[in-house]
């Protein structure tokens, strides 16, 4: 088996490493805060002191970080991934950043004699743990075919969508729907509640109705009680919405519902809820509706 590396051991990245370890892979990991990786070390993951060290000791290195700035922090500089990667190695970035930024990074990786694909995912920590995660991949077809078995150890649906950067275009197209759907769900719950139907009943009916996408089924109950740790917080969701708005501007695609829905994330941040799961936009709308204070 190839030696694997993983940079970024947050909620999603950490659970991906756990799955890879369960599949029998050898994994070397790095996270800015080592204490968050302790549970993986106890499962058998080796810990490296820099992204460079991870890439230098691995045949295939994964990364999953929060945004473009975080990606630059782990790839650039004397301790970055680019300083450790070399000929014959592969890099799979699963972060959600702009397609242009990913393509620029792929070009730098190829200068080193290695190759890179962008491989963002659709799903949450629950779908990951249940083995239902979907992976989109952008990059050379032959590289995709080489790496596909590894990605199938993370999730059962792995799709090559085209050249570098296009998986990120697809991911952004997916994620704008999360916020838009959450807004529609929230409006439906609040209309029912103000009509006299208990909130719990409205949530139960809607999450078992024709509108209940997998996202609504998982996240709909969050309007009743937020999770202890956000699956995908307001700041992360807004980052993706702004990427969608930027793409729409560049490609001359009006993204009207995206732009409007994004403003509720701004309102959530103004209310001090930026670290809450983005389902908290329900409570923004509930305040506007006079139901909550």
Q: Can you give the pTM of this predicted structure?
A: 0.88
Sign of the four-CA dihedral 164, 165, 166, 167? positive
Distance CA(201)–CA(213), nearest Å, equals: 18
Residues 217, 84: Cα–Cα separation, whole Å: 42
Model pLDDT for residues 247-276, shown as the tens digit of each residue: 999 999 999 999 999 999 999 999 999 999
What whole-number percentage of the chain has pLDDT above 70?
100
Q: How confident is the model at residue 235 (pLDDT cuts 50, 70, 90)?
A: very high
Instruction: Over range 209-219, report the average pLDDT.
Output: 91
Instruction: State the pLDDT at residue 229.
Output: 86
CATH code, 3-163:
3.40.50.720
The full set of domain ranges for the chain reads 3-163, 169-288
Give the pLDDT band of residue 132 (cuts 50, 70, 90): confident
Assign domain 169-288 one CATH number from 1.25.60.10, 3.40.50.10490, 1.10.10.10, 1.10.1040.10: 1.10.1040.10
Between the two ends of the chain, the Cα-to-Cα distance in Å is: 56
For residue 66, pLDDT over 80 is answered with yes
């Amino acid at each position: 088996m190839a030696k694997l590396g993983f940079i970024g051991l947050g909620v999603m990245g950490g659970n991906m490493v756990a799955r890879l370890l369960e599949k029998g892979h050898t994994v070397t990991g790095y996270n800015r805060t080592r204490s968050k990786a302790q549970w993986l070390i106890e499962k058998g993951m080796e810990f490296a002191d820099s992204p460079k060290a991870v890439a230098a000791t691995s045949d295939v290195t994964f990364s999953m970080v929060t945004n473009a700035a975080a990606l630059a922090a782990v790839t650039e500089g004397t301790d970055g991934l680019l300083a450790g990667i070399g000929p014959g190695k592969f890099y799979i970035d699963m972060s959600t950043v702009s397609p242009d930024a990913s393509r620029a990074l792929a070009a730098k990786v190829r200068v080193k004699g290695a190759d890179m694909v962008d491989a963002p995912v659709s799903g949450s920590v629950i779908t990951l743990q249940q083995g239902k995660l979907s992976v989109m991949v952008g990059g050379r077809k032959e590289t995709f075919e080489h790496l596909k078995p590894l990605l199938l150890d993370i999730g059962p649906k792995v799709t090559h969508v085209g050249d570098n950067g296009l998986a990120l275009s697809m991911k952004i197209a997916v994620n704008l729907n999360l916020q838009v759907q959450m807004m529609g769900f929230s409006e439906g719950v609040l209309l029912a509640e103000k009509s006299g139907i208990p909130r719990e009943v409205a949530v139960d009916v809607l999450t078992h109705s024709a509108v209940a996408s997998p996202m609504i089924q998982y996240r709909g109950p969050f309007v009743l009680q937020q999770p202890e740790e956000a699956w995908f917080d307001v700041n992360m969701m807004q980052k993706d919405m702004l990427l969608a708005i930027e793409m729409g501007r560049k490609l001359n695609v009006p993204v009207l519902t995206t732009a409007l829905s994004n403003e509720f994330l701004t309102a959530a941040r103004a209310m001090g809820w930026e670290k809450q799961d983005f389902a908290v936009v329900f409570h923004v709308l509930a305040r506007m509706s006079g139901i909550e204070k």
